[in-house]
A and B are shown apart, each in its own frame.
Chain A
Amino acid sequence: MRRFLLGIASVLCLVACSPSPSHQSSTIRIRWPRDPENLDPLVAPNSHAVEILNLLHCSLLSIDYNQKEFVPWLVEAMPVVRQRDSLTLVTYQLRSEASWDNGLPVLASDVVFTLKVMNCPGLPNEASRAQYGFIQNIEPDPADERRFTLSFRGRARELVHSSGDYPILPEHQLDPQKHLRRVSLAALRADTVPNKRRQQPDITAFVQRYQRANLNRQPENLAGCGPYRLVDWQTDRYVALQRKANWWGDRVKAAPPQLQAKPAAIDYEIIADEATAVLALRRGDIDIYPMMPAKDFLALRQNKAATQLSFYTADSYEMIAAGFNTRQPELQDARTRQALSYLFDIPGLIQASQQGMAYPSVSLVSPAAGESYHDSLPLLTFNTQRAQDLLRSAGWQQQAQGWTRRVANGTLQHLKPSISYRAGNPAYEAIALQFRTAAAKIGIPVQPRPTEASLFTEHLRTGNVELYLQLLSGNPFTYNFTPILHSQSIGWGNFTGFGTAASDQLIEAIATEGDPKRQAHLLRKFQYLLRQECPLVVLYFLQYRLAATNRLTNLHATGIRPGYEAAAIQSLPAGTIQP
């Protein structure tokens, strides 16, 4: 007993003597479920890494979360766009205040350098190269070292946005010997064979220097021109950023929102488990819990004891869709696909899988998109009778062994589709089970196939699926359905196998159309086509949910990832609670 009491006393002593965590009220603490893993600006493997890189570095353009449009960041204004033959020329003018931490100005030569780094063989830039490889050339203005023109083929609006959407890197830090100045961008773009770089000592020397910087894990070795610098990163524990005392953005007169960075420090606290994160929020260990699961969000909102918290939601551009692999013989005709789409009970699914915190849409366009949304199309309803009628009109007959039909070559087809999805996601499981139950009611046996993530992607690519569930993401700026529905993307992102000359033409027209009215008309036409052909159906758009302590002000939940704008958030002094 004495030893037991001694044990209790030592634990209490440990608790009493333990250092209490000090917390500055000007620091914003945000919960993340996972580590950013790699903070090399060329790699940025996940949305968390992108979020940090956007605070450490600046791109030419940024996003205005309120207006939902691209805005100038490192540049004075949106670029001037001209057409020369098949080339699009985009001219940018860098801000005169833009400078690196050592006071050197950000110049066109830094942009040239960044493009060369993104195309330099021997660096882990494969994804950057694929994404920004469309930029063919950059011409600095000889009369103005802050002015330059990018050129590329194609007229899509999204290409103009993409041409300014990558962090600009400092040449004086990464390449003080100016090795890359001796190699042209065209030569780097053409060099796609890894061993070839050994023949070019300049490239080898630069690659070795870049690798020595170990930016993957030591991003502090590269001082970007963003408003924050990284002060500490402990893997799987936290990432701590501090605002620069003399950031160039402070010198801009009447600075627009994208050039304002309010918090003195931002700590990203990595808490893997959701229940622990809720507890940490309630204890006041974190200030913001973004992307909160619907169940926890509703429970916390209804908890009267959680008075120190505020709750935010925003309609996102992420949607859960059910795709039909049109390469499967049973799913080749549109009427069969339409029939099966009537078996999804969308309001029920929104309630069951998202606790009602999602919203339906007629197609791939968000209902918030105004004229572009085809509001004349009815929302999909759950209608087993309609499904049976459509199946009969597609030639299927209900018999003792299920729904069958005889096709042209005399073979008998059975309608018994499987529904594939990534294993471990409760929302997908709920959808698959609801679909199976509804299909069983009209005599269609459905086999749910939960599949490991990597294997699922492989199955999608090889067409080894029938129905499948997938998360699709869009944004409010541009519409480009090429990756998911164009025939040239079949096997890469278009897992439906759908694609006709007319649909391809429509997709291309939407992507390149510059006039909003004409684009809205094309989008409505496309939504109608999708409803007729039914290669995929959107079940619902997700809502982003965010809970935060009351002491934060100017916190706006947005429908664009990460769901908030960290640099805009302000905090009241500790102990102050907003009314």
Chain B
Amino acid sequence: MGHFLLHRLLRTFPAVWGVVSVIFIISRLLTQEQVLNHRFGEGETGSHVASPAQRQLAELQIRQRLGLTAPLFYFSAAPPPVAGLALRWQWNGAHNQYHNWLRQLLHADLGVSFRDDQPVVSLLLQSLRYTLPLTIGAALSCLALAWLLTPRLGRKSRGRSLLLTSLYLIDAAPLFVVSLLLLLLLANPEMVALFPAYGLGREDPTATWLVHFQTMAYHLALPMLTLTLASLPALVVQLDAALNHELRADYVLTARAKGLPDALVIRRHVLRNALIPVLALLTELLPSLVAGSVVVEMIFSLPGMGRLLAAAAAAHDYPVLLGGVLTVALVRVWGQVVADWLSFQADPRIRLPL
């Protein structure tokens, strides 16, 4: 097992490094106007605004402060007098943006945000503080519901087709529609105002952990329900297909012939075999556990990872964006390793690739 883990990690590490490096280079090649222009009141016709020369100088100073004036990579295209008919390259040495970023990364330092100079690591951790309870809660609710619904899926009945039709309907609706419908149904004074409409309530440093937990659960209930409903169809439909495939096997017939009730046949015997294709799907959920859900976080005004990354992308805050992408990429790789390991646990006949 140790060999397997080591081998997989060594194999996937270059992929993560490659993905993040490519994103780093591409993002820095894009225009930085958004970062630089936020204070200069473009299009103002009244108040005193800086002259073009002052703005040019200010932009240069901001670039210097953010470390954007150094060459991007170890080499770059040579400036026009050197580059003649053929494209020539110029060696920039270790003093380049990529080298500095990589060196920081090796010290587990993802840099600071362009917007507020805060360390990216602390921003990500702060967002995960709200995202993880939401996404893990939703994932667990989803699993629990799938577990409850499993015996119904094995039987060809009206209930099963009704359930599948409802799930297809939910799956067809965009996430924002599901979110808004739940909000308008369950947080609306004109319908039923059971839940709060937004946010997480007030931080009270004097509150006990129980009150803290209760407040969090109360505010996260509706977003969690939305995410659960949104992820349930894929899981249940896949499980249904796998179960129906397995139910045709001879060992099921034997189990039934022994007189086992249907629910027990499915949970004890069939589910274990039907789980293998579903496991891959489950581990696909892992990256979204840390990436959060932009739509749900926007609609319910939750300060999670999805909203942080969306805001960073809109403001071209690349250190935060890269930190988020790196985290999600690492979890994805880890998820694939976990999927392999779980498949092995579910069916020992599967050989772990080395």
Complex: how many Å from CA A493 to CA B39? 13
9-residue interface stretch from B60-68, B235-243, B246-254, B274-282: B60-68
A305–B191 Cα gap in the complex (Å)?
Answer: 13
- In angstroms, Cα B124 to Cα A496, docked, is 42
Quick check: B43 and A44 within 8 Å, CB to CB? no
CA distance A83 to B127 in the complex (A): 55
CA distance A280 to B184 in the complex (A): 11
When distances are taken between beta carbons in the complex, the residues of chain A under 8 Å from B105 are none
Question: Which residues of A are found within 8 Å of B196, using beta-carbon distances?
Answer: 21, 285
Residue of B nearest to A272 (CB): B298
Cβ of A21 and Cβ of B202 under 8 Å apart?
yes
Residues 180-223 of chain A, each 1 if its beta carbon lies under 8 Å from chain B, else 0: 00000000000010100000000000000000000011000000
Greatest chain A CB density within 10 A among B34, B48, B302 is at B48
Contact flag A192-B116 (CB < 8 Å), given A19-B211, A19-B214, A472-B45: no
Q: In chain A, residues 24-59, which have Cβ atoms closer than 8 Å to a Cβ of chain B?
A: 34-35, 37-38, 43-46
A-B contact count (CB 8 A): 216
Tell which of A292-300, A347-355, A483-491, A514-522 binds the partner.
A483-491
Residues of B within 8 A of A35 (CB): 311
B47 CB within 8 Å of chain A: yes
Instruction: For A4, give the chain B residue with the smallest CB separation.
Output: B148
Query: Does B54 contact A133, Cβ atoms closer than 8 Å?
Result: yes
Is the pair B199, A269 in contact by a Cβ cutoff of 8 Å?
Answer: yes
Of A272, A453, A458, the most chain B CB neighbours within 10 A belong to: A272
B52 touches A488 (CB 8 A): yes
* A303 nearest in chain B by CB position: B190
How far is it, in angstroms, between the C-alpha of A473 and the C-alpha of B40 when the chains are bound?
A: 12
The chain B residue with its CB closest to the CB of A235 is B303
Among A116-133, those with CB < 8 Å from B are 124, 126-127, 129-131, 133
Instruction: Report yes or no: A283 in contact with B193, Cβ–Cβ below 8 A.
Output: yes
Interface centre among A453, A454, A477 (most CB of B within 10 A): A454
Interface residues in B, total, Cβ within 8 A: 73
Whole-angstrom distance from the CB of B64 to the nearest CB of chain A? 5
Q: Are B190 and A158 in contact (CB under 8 A)?
A: no
A475 within 8 A of B: yes
Q: Which residues of A contact B215 (CB under 8 A)?
A: 18-19
CB atoms of A483 and B203 under 8 A apart: no
Instruction: Find out whether the CB atom of B126 lies under 8 angstroms from the CB atom of A124.
Output: no
Q: Does B31 contact A (CB under 8 A)?
A: yes
Interface pair A285/B301, CB less than 8 Å apart: no
**Distance of A238 Cα from B37 Cα, bound (Å):** 25
What are the residues of chain B within 8 A of A471 when measuring CB–CB?
Answer: 43
**Chain B CB within 8 A of A161 CB:** yes
Min CB gap A530→B, angstroms: 12
Binds B, one of A9-17, A106-114, A400-408: A9-17
**Is B70 at the interface (CB under 8 A from chain A)?**
no
Interface centre among B39, B180, B201 (most CB of A within 10 A): B39
Q: Are A236 and B307 in contact (CB under 8 A)?
A: yes
B300 at the interface (CB under 8 A from A): yes
Assembly CA distance A35 to B57 (angstroms) = 28
Most chain-B Cβ atoms within 10 A of its Cβ — which of A126, A133, A364, A475? A126
A192: chain B residues within 8 A (beta carbon)? 57, 61
Q: Are B303 and A18 in touch, CB under 8 angstroms?
A: no
Q: Is B80 an interface residue, CB under 8 A from the partner?
A: no
Whether B162 is near chain A, meaning CB under 8 Å from some CB there, is no
Q: Which residues of B contact A (CB under 8 A)?
A: 30-34, 37-52, 54-59, 61-62, 64-65, 115-118, 126, 148, 180, 183-184, 187-190, 193-203, 211, 214-215, 217-218, 221, 297-303, 307-308, 311, 314, 316
Known: A158-B46, A493-B52. 20 other contacts (CB 8 A): A3-B148, A38-B115, A44-B39, A126-B62, A165-B47, A194-B61, A273-B298, A273-B299, A279-B183, A285-B198, A454-B32, A457-B31, A472-B45, A473-B45, A478-B47, A480-B46, A480-B49, A484-B43, A488-B52, A489-B52
User: What are 23 A-B contacts with C-beta separation under 8 Å?
Assistant: A15-B218, A129-B54, A130-B54, A162-B48, A217-B116, A236-B301, A236-B307, A271-B199, A272-B307, A276-B300, A279-B187, A279-B197, A279-B198, A282-B190, A454-B33, A457-B37, A457-B42, A478-B48, A480-B48, A483-B43, A484-B45, A492-B55, A493-B44
